[in-house]
Amino acid sequence: MKKPKISVLGIGYVGLCTAVGFASKGYTVIASTHDAEKAAKINKGIPPFHEPNLQKLLEEAVQSGRLTCLTNQTKKAVLETDLTFNAVGTPSMPDGGADLQFIEASSREIGQALCKKSTYHVIVIKSTVVPGTTRDLVKPIVEKVSKKKCGSDFGLCMNPEFLRQGSAFEDTIHTDRIVIGEYDKKSGDVLYNLYKDFYDKDLPPTIRTSLSTAELIKYASNSLLATKISYINTIANICGKIPGADVKTVAVAMGLDKRIGPLFLNAGLGYGGSCFPKDVKALIAHSKKLGYRLELLESVENVNKTQPLKAVEFCKELIGNLKGKHVAILGLAFKADTDDMREARAIPIINELLKEGASVTAYDPVAMSIAKTIFKNKIRYAQSAIECLKNADCCILVTEWDEFKKLKPADFINNMKQPALVDGRRIYNPEEFSQKMKFTAIGLGH
Ligand SMILES: NC(=O)c1ccc[n+]([C@@H]2O[C@H](COP(=O)([O-])OP(=O)(O)OC[C@H]3O[C@@H](n4cnc5c(N)ncnc54)[C@H](O)[C@@H]3O)[C@@H](O)[C@H]2O)c1
């Protein structure tokens, strides 16, 4: 089978990993963005964000000539390829609904290209979009602008992405399942055959379904994962009130039950990032429009809103009034192995500390430059974990980076003004730490 040529619109985490993934398997990929700086980086083999293992594969893809990134040339990218993955962003609007302006704009650009194309082309929506978007927004825009007919002149699929930042490339090429929402069988066959060729005998379980079902599968999956996190955090908060209880052991025992499973049961300061918060909000808002109130997810969201502030409460329990105190924050990114600070838990924690009159010094292995654009000169920035701890009255561990797991009680005792630690991610051994210093952790009953 001749390999189809692929174009990718939107070259963020999803778009870039998709592009590099297909290029790594020998496909020719043309990416398109409006951001010239980003395109220049990609064409030099430099990922525009921190993502483990991506740099080498991107370099190889670019050097082999299989991946190129164009700026403001969506038309060229679409005309020179057979299939387009659309992976543009779908951020939150103030009311929580999904902002579909980038999907609308990119659909128009695809339509303008298809206007000039005489061969069949398949459009694949990879962005997370609320149910109905592909059929009721993308299809009419492309048909109107291109003056072509969906089904006969071009195909349309919705193919949600399930990658996790921090292991994004690995997840892209070793996914647990593929979901193909298809406008018609012809469109779905093209995408199915592409994945069959890509994975060969390792093709993961593949679900072929309607466009709307595929769209909902993504929201239903992310909302359940967010629910698991808020659920274990509420159990953690109960544990905190029961002497001798420890949420870590509760979670391990729960996770051994095959009906529950061990993943997403790490109690902490709540979920952040560019997906869970916005997807939970979007499903709540969409459901409201449909006349159904999603009370369960409203609670999931509320738990997640208050959970980071637990860290500040704990800090006050350890050292009292925070006015004039100096707090060290270890970890700023929304999770380890990424520099993404969208909806990072560090943001409400730091804002609350400042409101309480504390001064803050922060350190993160990769998110410092992004953090500086958020907090500007309101906080101090350290160049290492140890420098961050210097003369602090209390430390809050916010992100579970491996390098923080290596810190010993002596590192805190020898550097802080008074050693006091709030473990917001349960990475330290409570017995070892609480014997040597003031120590408290999420989900630990005293
Ligand atoms: N990040 C994740 O972990 C993840 C996982 C699964 C699904 N998703 C979903 O995938 C989509 C993309 O997410 P992301 O994290 O990669 O987003 P991102 O914000 O990192 O990147 C989106 C990119 O799209 C670009 N863009 C906007 N309009 C464009 C246009 N008309 N043409 C070309 N480029 C355009 C933006 O400049 C931006 O670089 C979202 O819907 C998201 O919910 C994200």
Measured by CA distance, the residue closest to atom 34 of ligand 1 is: 10
What is the band of 173 on the pLDDT scale with cuts at 50, 70, 90?
A: confident
Tens of pLDDT, residue by residue over 359-392, are: 999 999 999 999 999 999 999 999 999 999 999 9
Q: Can you tell me which atom of ligand 1 is nearest the CA of 164?
A: 3
Helix or strand (DSSP H, E) at 206:
strand 206-209
Sign of CA dihedral 85, 88, 89, 94: negative
Tell me which H or E stretch contains 338: none
Q: What is the H or E stretch that residue 400 is in? A: none
pLDDT at res. 217: 98
Distance 164 CA to ligand 1 centre (A): 13
Distance 347 CA to ligand 1 centre (A): 22
Rounded to the nearest 10 degrees, how much is the dihedral formed by the CA atoms of 123, 127, 129, 133?
-20
Cβ atoms 381, 401 nearer than 8 A: no
Q: What is the pLDDT of residues 46-97, one digit of tens each?
A: 999 999 989 999 999 999 999 999 999 999 999 999 999 999 999 999 999 9
Give the C-alpha separation, 20 to 363, whole Å: 31
What does pTM read for this prediction?
0.96
Please state the atom number of ligand 1 nearest to the C-alpha of residue 165: 3
Q: Answer yes or no: is pLDDT of 220 > 90.
A: yes
Residue 446 — pLDDT band, cuts 50, 70, 90? Answer: confident
Classified as helix, coil or strand, 295 is helix
- Asked whether the beta carbons of 382 and 345 are under 8 A apart, the reply is no
Q: Which pLDDT belongs to residue 228?
A: 98
| pLDDT, mean over the chain | 97
Q: Is 275 a catalytic residue?
A: yes
Give the tens place of pLDDT for each residue, 277-306. 999 999 999 999 999 999 999 999 999 999
The pLDDT tens digits for 199-213 are 999 999 999 999 999
Q: For 100-122, what is each residue's pLDDT tens digit?
A: 999 999 999 999 999 999 999 99
Pocket of ligand 1 (CB under 6 A): 9-15, 32-35, 74, 87-90, 102, 105-106, 109, 127-128, 161, 163, 165, 274-275
C-alpha of residue 10 to centroid of ligand 1, in Å: 5
Half-sphere exposure of 102 (CA within 13 A, CB side): 21
Question: Model confidence over 230-256: pLDDT tens digits?
Answer: 999 999 999 999 999 999 999 999 999
pLDDT tens sequence across 383-426: 999 999 999 999 999 999 999 999 999 999 999 999 999 999 99
Q: How far is residue 31's CA from residue 444's CA, in Å, rounded to a whole number?
A: 48
Cβ of 160: how many Cβ atoms within 10 Å?
Answer: 23
Q: Which atom of ligand 1 is nearest to the CA of 35?
A: 37
Which sign does the torsion angle of CA 205, 211, 216, 218 carry? positive
The dihedral through the CA atoms of 231, 233, 236, 238 has a sign that is negative
Whether the per-residue pLDDT at 1 is higher than 90: the answer is no
Residue nearest to atom 23 of ligand 1 (CA): 10
Q: How far apart are the C-alpha atoms of 129 and 282, rounded to whole Å? A: 9
